[in-house]
Chains A and B, each alone.
Chain A
């Protein structure tokens, strides 16, 4: 026991030491992120002083950039771990290695989710009202209560599993499969649940026909399964090129296939939605009309959605053609485009148009303010900071660069 504690303290020390060391690019990157984070924090104090009136939100469009990013990032968090499903189906050892990376990404994404929710609520100082026991969590009635539970549970799982595996690796022992494999499976189910619950948050509102749609949950999964692995693929490609870590080409190929299939399914679902909204447009299609074509003079979202759809189609086609998918330049460009497309789709293309027009027919547009955008950038910087840190440490332990024995002998 005592020995374990000793190993643990040296584990933490080594991780900290390693995180502080790095080449110029690493320091520049982390410095930039820190700068953006501080900027975001400063703007958040401004928002706390003046209230959410400083954002572009209003009583008509009552959720904006924050909740859009939250929704998108839930997908990123969920998708990262869902990479394990094909790993299991094809009993593929390579992909298991990526799971650790995925979990690092998931932790970063989840922390961003929590941050986005925190900056969105009007009374963050009253957060304790949500804690069962001292407050009142409205479970199981409120889908938001469900979301809080799945989000925090998922965060816990994604901290626990990598910690267990990496800590054992660090001290040179094989992790016990009986302990972590069930947890990995639990986290797969949890990932699906996480994204479905977040979709139900919207789909459960009969007041908003644009969201009140049975395809929303499955579509969330498909788009997340495309966008999340696309992010990981770009990250791995970047790692391969700019760091000393080894990344197998075969892993990259497999992830590219996963991204491709998910992007294709996502497009099919998009087609299905567009057909339903426009073939026989009812009053309930009015939000879709606003999103795709605008209503009268008001058409703020039109450029967004057409950008998203164009990027989506270009990226999916590029990935579908084998020759292009296997070419590094096209592969990574397509992944970046796809990621951007899905980010727009989940935010400006899903959350915002749900509010426009309002239930009684007013068309009030939404334009995020600079403060809102600054806070959003700050939170993204924070998330990327965490992801960089975790993924880098994961690689270093996985590839025996940080090791308990070595340190003891030196």
Chain B
């Protein structure tokens, strides 16, 4: 296997050297026409031919590093089955690639679930007033595609007289709140029995030990079977190349969380894994101006979320499906 990999790499080396510059058998730099043109444009401002050679060599090196890192990145395995060491390597590679490709200084965490932690979420339907600050905070924190305005969270405006979210409307464009309605937010419910997980043909999605259902964005092949299997509309597919400008990028990232995603892969709410595993609240909880959102450790008997579940009348969506969502609704 290793031999094959080495061979593939040397094959790539050959490919690389064609563009932008080529080395002959003595190791002297030989330029292809395209490479020459590219170098010529980069050095045009400098003018001095000596410096031009220097600059083009530098670009050649960076291009080469980028290509070889991309190549290794392509052949890495499923995060779920990577050793701790491989995970560290994969993270370093991604950080370096972010620097090389877009000049972004990101820090990507590979922090595991903390033992004794099981995350849960509670949503107060008497408090939510449909301001949608959560949606905006989520978009920014999780580096969601700005072009399609991707949203993990949906806020449904439901008419009084029913508790059924199916009767609600999540495309309303008027001032909130209104007297006749109440508001219900939905997002990934991080089910104890997530129907989206077993259907994945490549094991690219799974439930972590702290209950967070995650996707390995680099392992997903984009078949969208999980999207069909989810009863809560929690999953989002990247139908086109997602766009987030570098200056708007949240640089504190997690491998399974808010890092940049590519075209053709699935993504979803991770309870802001990059924040929650560091002991912070998810962005939606922090952004909510009414305090309708509560997040915490279900295994901690003194946590607020436990108190809500134990003392309030709570309910969950589609309990009849046996998915055991860890997302409760309650009212004051």
Contact = CB atoms under 8 A, between A and B. Distances in A.
A207 B222 contact: no
Contacts of B227: 59, 62
Interface in B274-332: 318, 321-322
A122 B222 contact: yes
Contacts of B239: 51-53, 57-59
Query: Mostly helix, strand, loop or mixed at chain B's interface?
Result: loop
A228 to B, nearest CB: 25
23 contacts: A51-B241, A51-B263, A52-B237, A52-B239, A58-B239, A59-B235, A59-B239, A60-B233, A62-B224, A121-B222, A126-B220, A126-B222, A130-B201, A135-B202, A138-B200, A138-B202, A142-B200, A142-B201, A354-B228, A355-B228, A360-B156, A361-B165, A362-B170
A144 B204 CA distance: 13
A63 to B, nearest CB: 7
B216 to A, nearest CB: 10
Given A138-B198, A138-B200, A144 B223 contact: yes
Interface of A: 50-53, 57-60, 62-63, 117, 120-127, 129-130, 135-138, 141-145, 148, 201, 204-208, 283, 354-355, 357-362
Given A51-B241, A205-B195, 19 more contacts: A50-B240, A51-B239, A51-B263, A52-B240, A52-B264, A59-B233, A63-B224, A123-B220, A123-B222, A126-B221, A130-B201, A130-B202, A141-B198, A141-B199, A142-B199, A143-B199, A144-B199, A206-B322, A283-B166
Contacts of B318: 359
Which 5 A-B residue pairings sit nearest by Cβ, starting from the closest? A122-B222, A122-B264, A361-B166, A207-B231, A53-B239
B182 to A, nearest CB: 16
Contact of A129 (B186, B204, B266): B204
A359 B232 contact: yes
B183 interface: no
Contacts of A63: 224, 228
Interface string B213-226: 00000011111110
Interface residues of B, number: 50
Contacts of B148: 53
Nearest to B166: A361
Contact of B201 (A122, A123, A148, A358): A148
A122 B265 contact: yes
B84 to A, nearest CB: 19
Given A122-B263, A122-B264, A207 B200 contact: no
B221 A122 contact: yes
B237 A138 contact: no
B153 to A, nearest CB: 12
Contacts of B202: 129-130, 135-138
Nearest to A351: B228
A207 B230 contact: yes
A226 B72 CA distance: 50
A208 B240 contact: no
Most buried by B among A130, A142, A143, A283: A142
B221 A360 contact: no
Contacts of B230: 207, 359
B223 A121 contact: yes
